[in-house]
């Protein structure tokens, strides 16, 4: 998203702990003509650029989930970003937007009440809270489509070039606070 970062996101952080994972779901308003992923893709191919999808935030996991769906399916659908999940949900319920990619917990109440229609979950497996909703990959038209979100604790990496070299060579000495090699 930001090409001018002063650090490399792949090496600047060390994982500390995975806190939680969350399933994502594709929902639509009840009167939307598609009832599953296959029908959504067919409708988008028949009407390029005319179907819109909402997400809570530009660059959020939900946005990227929709973009990956768009690319994997080879369809032209319009992204409409909102600041929050409640705003995005309201836009779909209010028929300003057609489809929403969001976390299951954010839309579960609306799905259960019938305000939103669940088309698919985005992980490779069905999700326990909505066991009757198929995984998008089950449609047969999205090979490899598997998206879940995770939350974790990271810390700034303290690895120096010397530390990496020692690790690669199998050196068991522990680095001291200054980044040099200390006694084991």
Q: Write out the DSSP string of the chain.
A: --TT-SS-TTTSEEEEEEEEEEEEEEEE-TT-S--SHHHHHHHHHHSTTT-EEEEESTTSHHHHHHHHHHHHHT---EEEEESSHHHHHHHHHTTSSSEEEEEHHHHHHHHHHTSSEEEEESSSS--TTSTTSPBGGGGSSSTT---EEEEEEEEE----HHHHHHHHHT--PPB-TTSSB---
- Report the chain's mean pLDDT, rounded to a whole number: 86
Distances in Å between the Cα of 99 and the Cα atoms of 45, 55, 178 are 15, 9, 52
**In the predicted model, is pLDDT for residue 184 greater than 70?**
no
Q: What pLDDT score does 182 carry?
A: 46
Mean pLDDT of 103-127: 94
Enumerate the domain spans of the chain.
21-152, 153-184
pTM over 0.95: no
| CATH architecture assignment, domain 21-152 | 3-Layer(aba) Sandwich (3.40)
Q: Kindly report the backbone phi and psi dihedral angles of residue 31, in degrees, each rounded to the nearest multiple of 5, phi listed first.
A: -90, 5
Tell me what percent of the residues of the chain surpass a pLDDT of 90: 58
Q: How far apart are CA 43 and CA 49, in angstroms?
A: 11
With beta carbons less than 8 A apart as the criterion, state whether 144 and 128 touch.
no
Which has more confidence, 77 or 61? 77
Q: Residue 109's pLDDT band (boundaries 50, 70, 90)? A: very high
Q: Residue 57's pLDDT band (boundaries 50, 70, 90)? A: confident
């Amino acid at each position: 998203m930001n090409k001018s970062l002063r650090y490399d996101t792949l090496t600047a952080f060390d994982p500390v702990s995975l806190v939680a994972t969350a399933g994502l779901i594709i929902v639509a308003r009840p009167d939307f003509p598609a009832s599953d992923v296959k029908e959504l893709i067919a409708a988008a191919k028949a009407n390029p650029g005319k179907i819109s999808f909402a997400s809570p935030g530009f660059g959020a996991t939900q946005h990227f989930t929709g973009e990956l769906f768009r690319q994997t399916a080879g369809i032209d659908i319009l992204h409409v970003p909102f600041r929050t999940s409640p705003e995005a949900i309201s836009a779909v319920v209010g028929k300003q937007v057609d489809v929403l990619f969001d976390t299951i917990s954010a839309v579960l109440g609306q799905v259960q009440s019938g305000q939103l229609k669940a088309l698919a979950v985005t992980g490779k497996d069905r999700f326990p809270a909505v066991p009757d909703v198929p995984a998008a990959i089950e449609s047969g038209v999205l090979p490899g489509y598997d998206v879940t979100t995770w939350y974790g604790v990271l810390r700034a990496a303290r690895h120096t070039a010397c530390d990496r070299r020692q690790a690669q060579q199998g050196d068991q000495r522990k680095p001291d606070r200054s980044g040099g090699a200390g006694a084991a």
